[in-house]
């Protein structure tokens, strides 16, 4: 094993207080170097047959500087005690004395305040009543206006309805008149004999009317004659006998003669 040579500062004598530290560091470094050398020799010897020169171990040293002792803290200056300020004088001592109010004056002020409050309340009540009255009048006016509009609308609707009814009635009357004219043209009577005045009616000086209803067949003859209520019994037989002799022109409908029902004839019995 080769002896190690330490250069320069490593051979200098150590200070008495650090000799133990350096001794231990040197021993540890030597041991690490020896182990590193043996390990390198084993690795190199297994890989290459020819032995190689061993690398001399190198001892590395490290200088450790100890921290200087901490300086003592400067003394804290003493704080001078400050005496608290004197308390302020009481408010009662500063406020001026309250003047005494006479009971009669105080009662008068209270009465005036009550009267003023009552006047304010009365005024507010009057205002509320006035607002309610105005609102009631406005609602009544609106209701009257609605009633008037509704009445006018009803009157207009009734007028329109009456006008429509009048128009319909006039139209029906015109149609009936046209139909009656057409019917009269189609079944004009060809012969109508007056009935004989009953002798008994003459003896009793009786007068009256007698209406007979019947149908006119397609041949223009009278069928199913009957006396309408209101005819005197003495005038029935001569009225039916006279109707049986009536002859009419047949009524034509689509070119064919048809029966005309509910034809009426009234006989007037008068003594001249």
pLDDT at residue number 1: 39
Q: What is the mean pLDDT of residues 160-177?
A: 88
pLDDT tens digits, residue range 199-225? 999 999 999 999 999 999 998 899 999
More confident residue, 82 or 117: 117
Spatial neighbors of 208 by CB under 8 A, at least 6 apart, are 231, 232, 235, 269
Centre a 10 Å sphere on the Cβ of residue 89 and count the other Cβ atoms it contains: 8
The pLDDT of residue 235: 92
The secondary structure of the chain in percent helix, strand, coil, rounded to multiples of 5, reads: 50, 15, 35
Beta bridge partners of 256: 253
- Residue 17's pLDDT is what? 45
Q: Flag whether pLDDT at 141 surpasses 90.
A: yes
What fold characterizes domain 189-269?
A: TolA/TonB C-terminal domain (3.30.2420)
- CB of 270 within 8 A of CB of 215? no
Stretch among 53-62, 167-176, 230-239 having the lowest mean pLDDT: 53-62
Q: How confident is the model at residue 52 (pLDDT cuts 50, 70, 90)?
A: low
pLDDT tier for residue 126 given thresholds of 50, 70 and 90: very high
pLDDT band at 134, cuts 50/70/90? Answer: very high
State the Cα angle at 119 between 114 and 123, rounded to 5°.
Answer: 150
Which tokens in the block code for residue 190?
């060809």
């Amino acid at each position: 094993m080769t002896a190690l040579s330490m250069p320069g500062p490593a051979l200098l004598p150590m200070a008495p207080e650090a000799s133990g530290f350096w001794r231990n560091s040197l021993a540890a470094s030597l041991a690490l170097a020896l182990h590193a050398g043996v390990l390198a020799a084993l690795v190199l010897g297994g890989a290459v047959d020819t032995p190689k020169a061993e690398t001399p171990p190198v001892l590395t040293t490290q200088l450790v500087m100890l921290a200087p002792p901490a300086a003592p803290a400067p003394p804290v200056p003493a704080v001078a005690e400050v005496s608290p300020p004197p308390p302020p004088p009481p408010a009662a001592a500063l406020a001026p004395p309250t003047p005494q109010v006479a009971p009669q004056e105080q009662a008068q002020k209270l009465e005036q305040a009550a009267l003023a409050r009552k006047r304010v309340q009365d005024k507010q009540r009057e205002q509320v009543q006035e607002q309610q009255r105005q609102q009631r009048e406005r609602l009544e006016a609106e209701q009257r206006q609605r009633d008037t509009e509704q009445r006018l609308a009803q009157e207009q609707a009734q007028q329109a309805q009456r006008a429509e009814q009048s128009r319909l009635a006039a139209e029906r009357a015109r149609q009936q008149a046209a139909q009656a004219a057409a019917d009269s043209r189609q079944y004009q009577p060809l012969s109508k004999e007056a009935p004989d005045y009953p002798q008994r009616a003459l003896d009793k000086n009786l007068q009256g009317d007698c209406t007979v209803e019947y149908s006119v067949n397609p041949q223009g003859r009278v069928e199913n004659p009957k006396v309408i209520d209101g005819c005197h019994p003495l005038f029935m037989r001569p009225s039916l006998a006279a109707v049986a002799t009536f002859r009419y022109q047949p009524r034509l409908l689509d070119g064919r003669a048809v029966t005309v029902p509910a034809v009426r004839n009234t006989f007037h019995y008068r003594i001249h």
